[in-house]
Amino acid sequence: MDTTAWMFPGPSGHVAGSLSAFVRPGSARMALLEEVDEVSERHGWGPVSPLLMEDADGAEQHAGHLWLGFFATSLILADVLAERGTSRDVLVGHSGGEVSALVVAGSLTAGDAAHVLCERTKAVDGSGLPPCGMVAIEAPAARVAGLCAAVGDPSLAIAVDNGPAQVVVSGLTDGIGKLEDIASVLEIKTTRLRFEAAYHNPILGGAALRLVQRIEHVPVRAPLARVHSPQLGRDIASADDARELLAGTLVLPVRFRESLRRLYDEGVRTFVECGGKQVLSGLVPECLPSRAVTVPMLTGKVQARMLAAALPGVTTVQAPPVADGLPPEAELRDRVRLAYAEALRFPAEMVEDDTELEADLGVSSLQRTNVFVQLLDLFDLPTPRERIPAGRVRTVADMAGLLRELAAAR
C-alpha cells in the first residue's frame, strides 16, 4: 500500500508575507505564531510573525528570524493539512526541520521547540571557532569525500548528503576555500552558502555540549506519530531518541538521500513539503524513481492565496500542436502560463501575466531554464546564441515577448 510522508525543510523554507491567507486574528494559528514571537523576543530577536504576514515588506528583520521563519511556516502548513484530513504516515525533517517534525508529532511544544532553535543558533554563534563556512558541491558524496581528503584540512566534513549531485561540506573558511579551488580545477560546480558556520560538523562538539546544558529543562515526550530522522538514520520512537537527536543536531550529518531511499523502499510514494519554496521537493526526483510524487505546498505568495481555498495538486496540461508561427498573444500567454504551472505543479490560474515568477512563485533558475527549453521545442524556435539574463524574463508577459522576438528572428 502506497503511503505519504510530510517533509519539513530547514532554513530558507519560508516565503515572506505568505501566511496571512491561513491565519486569522484570534485563531489557534495566530496563537501559535504569538507563542513563537514571544520566544523570539525573549531572545532579543523581535517578533517573526510580521515577516510572514501581509506586511512583510515593512517588517524589521533579524538574522535569527532565518531560524524561526521556516519553523513557524511549517507548523501552520502542517495544521492546514491536518485540518483537511491529508494522510500522513511518516514525518521527516531536514536539518533544523527535524525540530518542526517533533512538534507536529507531539514530542515538543511549539514554544519549547522555538527555544531549542534559538539556543541552537546561539550555541554556534558562541562557539569561538575561527571563521567557518559551508559550500554545496555538485558531485556524489564519495567523490566529495575524496576532495576533502585531498585538501588535508581535518575541519572539513560532509554535512549534508542531499542527492547524487548535491552534497554540502562545512568547515573552517580556509579549508572551504582550498576545497573550492580544487573543485574549480576539476570543473566541479560549487556554491558557497550564506551560513558563516560549520553546521553538522564534529568541530561544533563544544557548542553541542553547551546546547544540551541550555535545553536540559525542556520537556520532551515520545512522538505520537512516526518520525524518521535523517540525522540519526532511524525512527524516533521515544523521548530518549528525541533528546539524542537534539543533543547531536549540531554535529550529526544530514543523510537525507539515504532517508528518502529508505522511505521509498518502505512504500512511501507521495512526499508533501510543509514549507515555503521547494527546498526539499526538488531533491525527491533526483534520488527516487519516477513513481515518487512530490507536492510542494507553498512556492510563493500567489500560491498561498490559492492553497487557502484548496490543497495543491498536480496539474498537467498537454498543449495542442500549433502551426508555423506563434499563436495570438492571449493564446501564447496561456501556453506559457500552462508550462510554468506544469513545472511547478499547481493550477494555471495562479500564474497571472504580471506575476513575478521568482519572487512570487519561487521559480528556481533550473525550472526557468527547463520551461524555456520546453517552449522553444513547442514552438520550434532556435536556441538563442547568447545567454538570456535571468532578469530579462520575470513574468509570463516577459517570456511571451522573448518568444516573439525569437520567432521574428528565425
124 in Cβ contact with 207 (< 8 Å): yes
The grid cell for 170 is 562545512
Q: Where are the alpha helices (DSSP H) in 96-253?
A: 97-104, 110-125, 141-151, 173-185, 205-215, 239-248
Q: How many residues does the chain have?
A: 410
CA distance 344 to 307: 14
Q: Where are the alpha helices (DSSP H) in 65-126?
A: 66-83, 97-104, 110-125
CA distance 307 to 311: 5
pLDDT at 313: 36
CA distance 388 to 184: 24
Q: pTM, whole model, 2 decimals?
A: 0.76
| Secondary element (H or E) of residue 169 | strand 166-172
| Secondary element (H or E) of residue 408 | helix 396-409
DSSP 81: H
In a 3-state reduction of DSSP, which class is residue 363?
coil
CA distance 135 to 166: 10
pLDDT at 248: 97
164 in Cβ contact with 257 (< 8 Å): yes
In a 3-state reduction of DSSP, which class is residue 274?
strand
CA distance 23 to 21: 6
CA distance 224 to 311: 25
pLDDT at 116: 97
pLDDT at 276: 85
Q: How many CB atoms lie within 10 A of CB 334?
A: 19
Taking the CA of residue 79 as centre, how many other CA atoms within 13 Å lie in the half-sphere pointing to its CB?
18
Apex 159 CA angle, 293 and 196, nearest 5:
110
Domains and CATH numbers, the chain: 3-125+204-307 (3.40.366.10), 132-197 (3.30.70.250), 329-409 (1.10.1200.10)
How far is residue 292 from each of residues 2, 227, 267, 325, 380, measured CA to CA in Å?
A: 10, 19, 10, 37, 31
User: Which of 275, 264, 349 lies closest to 305, judged by CA?
Assistant: 349
pLDDT at 131: 96
Mean pLDDT of residues grouped by 10 in the chain (410 residues)? 92 83 91 96 92 66 82 95 90 97 97 97 95 95 96 97 94 97 95 92 97 97 97 97 98 98 96 88 90 82 58 34 61 82 70 76 79 85 75 82 81
Apex 156 CA angle, 155 and 161, nearest 5:
140
pLDDT at 320: 36
pLDDT at 322: 38
